[in-house]
Structure 1
Amino acid sequence: MTKRPNEKNERLKRRFLEYRKFARQLSEKTLDREIAALERFDVWNGRKDFAQFHISQAMGFRTYLEQCKTKTGKPLGKATMRSVLATLREFILWLSQQDGFRSRIKAADADYFNLSRRDEAEARAAPPRPAPSINQAKRALGLMPSATPQQKRDKAVFALLCLTGIRVAALVSLKIKHVDLQEQSVTQNPREVSTKFGKTIDTFFTKGFEDAEIALADWISYCDEVALYGPDDPLFPATAIAARSNEGFEACGFTGSHWKTTEPVRTIVRIAFEAAGIQNYGPHAFRHMLARHAAKHCTSVAELVAASQNLGHTDVLTTLRSYGQISRDEQRKLITGHTSDLD
């Protein structure tokens, strides 16, 4: 049976999280992970007073994580372990600087929450990230219907992902005025669009996706001429749900407000790929698709930098390291010049 929370520990955790939020400016999503990490350690440690911390607890907790299993019975991933230990490391470092703890806890004690060098390397290694090919994305888009307003919107969502690889959180917060069809651009203003780290991102349409541009223009034309939406209205308004007498609920136009979550976009992408007989890759996979396409076809450094900036990356190495991986077969082809073992 789990012990009741220690009031002293809870106050310290709250103060630490306030520090991380307001001094370190961490996002709510990151703070949620840190809360979970602190609670995991606190429970494992039997709710002992943090003032009694000893490096043996750090070493014991690391061993505990190595023996943990996921819900599927697999060992805890090294990246997950690294994330949990990083939170504890920051917490102990912060604790060593607080009144009443300086003489008990040393800053160096935090180092005992580090992974081994081998595990650290494994945790940092970029995992394989599946992504559709350009032709698969085009096929899925081409098979999407556009007879009804909702179908037009859904196809435009898929089209914009093909054209820009925009992050899904930014996509659901876009307004009509942020898209310029003539300039073939999307302006991601952090004052109005949910961009990563609050960055201003100017994104331009990737060439070769003419059908995607047509689908997006068709939806914006509907918004302007039929729905009579204005520039400050959501580019992709949420579906309105109306009750049917004795028959449940049904879609009934649009609400005129943004989607509250990114789940509708994920559903749109999944249905589109399934209809085309292609595995579901998810919205974020479009970023990998465009990055790999750029890495393969860019003919100059400037072109590669432009593609990186289009994805909102400050450093082109981010594009190459995290998104530009090539498959084993492609690696072999580029190095040996052979396409198969029979060549």
Structure 2
Amino acid sequence: MPKLPNEKNERLKRRFVDYRKYARQLSDKTLDRELAALERFDAWNGRKDFEKFHIEWAMGFRSHLEQAKGATGKSLSKSTARAIMATLREFTLWLSQQDGFRSRIRASDAEYFNLSRRDEAEARAAPARPAPSIKQAMRAFEMMPASTPREMRDKAIFGLLCLTGIRIAALITLRLKHVDLYDKSVTQNPREVATKFGKSMHTFFAKGFPEAEAALRAWIIYLEDKALYGPDDPLFPATAIAPQANTGFKAEGFTRRPWKSTEPARKIVNGAFIAANLPTFGPHAFRHMLARHAAKNCTSVAEIVATSQNLGHTDVLTTLRSYGQIDRDRMRELITGESEGGLFED
């Protein structure tokens, strides 16, 4: 029978989470993951008082993670194990600085919460990140209908993702005033738009997508001239659901508010690829698409930096590490100077 939570341990967990939230400024999503990691360790360790910490706990927990299974029944990925161990390492460091623990826990004890060098290297290896090619994205876009207002909205969503690679949370919170068609830009004001880490960003339309620009323009014109939306109204309003006498409920028009979650926009994107008989991709894949396209076609460092800033990255290395992987065929072309009959044309 699982042991009940240890009251002293629970207080320490809460203090640690408060420290990470207010001193380290971590997001609630990250804090939830860290709290889950602490709970995993605490439950495995039989709820023993943290104040009795011994390095054997860390060594034993590492062995436990090597054999542990995830929710799907498969072994934990090395990246997941690494994240859990990193949380325990930070927690142990923090404990070593707290009153009543300084004489019992040394900062160096935290280093025992590490994976083997081999597992660490595997965890750090950038995973393959699926993303559509430019041609695939444009094919899906071209096949999207735009005969009704709802279809116009959906096509404009797909088009804006092609143009900017904007994060989905930011996209669904945009207002009409944030898009400047003349300037070909999107202003992501963190006071009004759900940007990552609350960063203020100016994003410009990528070149080579005139059809996407046209779809976005047609949608904005509809909102302003037909629906009489103002600058502070949502750019992508949620679908209104009206009750029907015989059929229950039916999608009918729009509400003057954004979606409460990103799920409807994700379904629109997935549905567009399915309708085009293509592999399905999520909204985030457009960021990979634009970064890879830039890495492949940019002719100067300045262009790479501009692409990185347009995606909202503080450091250009983030773009290159996370989004700019070069596949085997492109790597062969760059190294050998030989291509295979137009295979690399996008």
- Aligning the two structures, in what range does the TM-score lie when normalised by the shorter sequence? over 0.9
Q: Does 1:76 align with 2:76?
A: yes
Equivalence for 1:37: 37
Equivalence for 1:105: 105
- Aligned positions of 1:173-212 closer than 5 A: 173-212=173-212
Structure 1 position 114, deviation (Å) = 1.4
Q: Does 1:162 align with 2:162?
A: yes
Equivalence for 1:133: 133
Q: Does 1:57 align with 2:62?
A: no
- Aligned positions of 1:79-90 closer than 5 A: 79-90=79-90
Instruction: Give the letter aligned to residue 204 of structure 2.
Output: F
1:98-120 CA-to-partner distances (Å, cap 9, x unmatched) read 11111111111111101222222
1:29-74 CA-to-partner distances (Å, cap 9, x unmatched) read 0011011101101110111111111110111111101111224443
Equivalence for 2:272: 272
Superposed structure 1 runs of 4+ greater than 3 Å apart: 337-341
Equivalence for 2:224: 224
Structure 1 position 162, deviation (Å) = 0.1
Equivalence for 1:289: 289
For 1:319 and 1:8, the matched residues in 2 are separated by: 43
**Percent identity over the alignment?**
72
Other structure's SS at 1:304 match: helix
For 1:72 and 1:32, the matched residues in 2 are separated by: 20
User: Structure 1 length as normaliser, TM-score?
Assistant: 0.96
Equivalence for 2:344: none
Instruction: Give the letter aligned to residue 240 of structure 1.
Output: A
Structure 1 position 340, deviation (Å) = 5.2
Instruction: Give the letter aligned to residue 2 of structure 2.
Output: T
Other structure's SS at 2:102 match: coil
- Aligned positions of 1:238-257 closer than 5 A: 238-257=238-257
1:277-317 CA-to-partner distances (Å, cap 9, x unmatched) read 11111111101111111111111121221111111112222
Other structure's SS at 1:321 match: helix
Equivalence for 1:22: 22
User: Structure 2 length as normaliser, TM-score?
Assistant: 0.96
Aligned length: 342
For 1:148 and 1:43, the matched residues in 2 are separated by: 54
Instruction: Give the letter aligned to residue 194 of structure 1.
Output: A
